[in-house]
Amino acid sequence: MPVGARVLNRRFVQQQKKLIVPVFIARLAHAVVRTMATSNSTATTTTDPGPGDAYALALERLAQLQSNRAVTSLFDRPPSDPSVDPNALAVPEMLAWLRRAGYTPQSLAASGLRCVHVAGTKGKGSVSAFVASILQQSLAQPGGGDGRRRRRRVVGLYTSPHVVSVRERLVIDGAPLPPAVFARDAELAGPATKPFYFRFLTLVAAHAFAAEGVTDAVVECGIGGEHDATAALLADPALVTAAVVTQLGVDHVAMLGDAVDKIAWHKAGVFKPGRKGFTVRPPTEAAAEVLRARAREKGAEALVVLGDDEVEAWEGVDGARLRGPFQKKNMALAAAAAREHLLRTGAALDGRFGTDGWALADMPEAFRRGLREASLRARGEVVADDDAGIEWHVDGAHTDDSLAGVGRWFRDRTGAGDGDGAVTVLLFNQQDRNPGPLLRALLASPGAPSFDHAVFARNEEASAAGGDLSVQRALADAMKAIRPEAQTAVYDAVRPAVEHVRRIAARAKQDRRPCKVLVTGSFHLAGPVLKAIGQEEP
């Protein structure tokens, strides 16, 4: 472990001795989970479970934390005191939690950690995964051609949301944190002394990066950028090598605003003094001007805008695991940011790619390999069930533009609507946003697929009494209006919906026809579906 990380861990343990209830346990040998008093009890017991039990208990207690939805819902109604901006309190509160955990942005910077910070409306998870994969491929060799020994560089990735396992959010050198390590780094003692869910996991990321000796990391914002928990984590500009704003759109209106230019202001909060910002062409000139103004305000070295023509002229990378025509722009943005990070951290890039006159076509094989190998759950994920004759296409798209892109991707892959003989099924839900316009974006955009069946289900894995099906029934009505030829069905949970799809596939198989399914509309739907079809966490 690097010396800086050991110093941070000693400071962390010393800090914990001063706390009434610890936030983390920094023991590296094994997981220790303390059962502590809740507000209804003063008894305290200590157990020493095995790694599997510790992980299960960590997940159980993690689920007790205040959810992200509970926090974002605070913005759905006018504040009791209009003079108080809840957003403005976020970073100071997060810095206080970070200090309580034994860290500061300055101590993380002193450890040698350097990060790419990624914000945006669409594609920020994919861009983050691409950057991390490029860094891992480019830094795979600890030594150089001159024979000198160099410190091994460890690549970390922090993204959200997770789809099947919370460990997806924290990846070290291409692998999610093992269950025992996650339980060690995320010791919980009930919700009373913890920040809400996303902030807590951001603290877990800080500790995991220090404990595992991470030197190079990619950190994805949760919501926005200016007031995001990750902005507190990376408040010291020395931590950041490059800032990225991916494609912009309208989302999280209550927190970020109802227009793209307002949302651009928040996303541009990741820009740092003396560092380059990277983005693609914004959808409006107003949003572009906001990004330029914010870059000046933040003292950024430059704002690099990748033009559409430049991206289209590039041949791209074939055979990528993250699929879809929209990924080409994400790949280009990731390559630019990864290049900047490597140069700022002392890596050598050969040929024209290491000069100011570089172009996307000049990228080395390590970059191309990184773009091909990058993966992220429920982003263009394809699962084949040959025995059942089903090909599942799973994507957590949940904005109008993203859903339109996913529809084109599904049609391009499957020929849905081209009369190729396959039975096509849509499995869709969106519980938190107005779902009707999102369904129309999927079905009515140019190049949209057609479906023989449409199934609408709540996100819960199993049926439970009292589930409100008004959203699903409204979606079925909308489907009948847009595509009257499609047969619709409504379910109160994912598992019975998946069984319905399997019955459709069984009938199709009798007719020697494959069944191709698109699962989309929400990550909260994608996760339970992946579990239901046997894609459990590793």
Strand partners, 122: 247
CA 208 to chain centre: 17
Report long-range pairs for 314-319 (Cβ below 8 Å, ≥24 apart): 314/359, 314/360, 314/361, 315/361, 317/368, 317/371, 317/372, 318/372, 319/372
- 23-37, 51-65, 223-237: which has the highest mean pLDDT? 223-237
What is residue 100's three-state secondary structure? helix
490-531 residue pLDDT tens: 999 999 999 999 999 999 999 999 999 999 999 999 999 999
340-371 residue pLDDT tens: 999 999 999 999 999 999 999 999 999 999 99
pLDDT, mean of residues 23-35: 29
Give the closest residue to 218 by CA, choosing from 279, 158, 262, 148.
Answer: 158
The chain-wide mean pLDDT, for the chain, equals: 84
288-312 residue pLDDT tens: 999 999 999 999 999 999 999 999 9
Question: What is the residue whose two structure tokens read 């901006």?
Answer: 85
79-95 residue pLDDT tens: 566 666 777 788 999 99
pLDDT, mean of residues 156-168: 94
Task: For 364-401, give the DSSP string.
Answer: -HHHHHHHHH---TTSSEEEEETTTTEEEEE----SHH
pLDDT, mean of residues 464-493: 93
> Mean pLDDT lowest for which of 22-26, 133-137, 219-223, 476-480?
22-26
CA distance 290 to 266: 10
- Indicate the angle between helix axes 285-298 and 260-267, nearest 10 degrees: 20
Position 56 scores a pLDDT of: 84
**The total number of residues written for the chain in this structure:** 538
Give the closest residue to 438 by CA, choosing from 446, 447, 430, 426.
Answer: 430
Containing 218, the helix (H) or strand (E) segment is strand 216-220
Are the C-beta atoms of residues 246 and 332 closer than 8 Å to each other? no
Containing 220, the helix (H) or strand (E) segment is strand 216-220
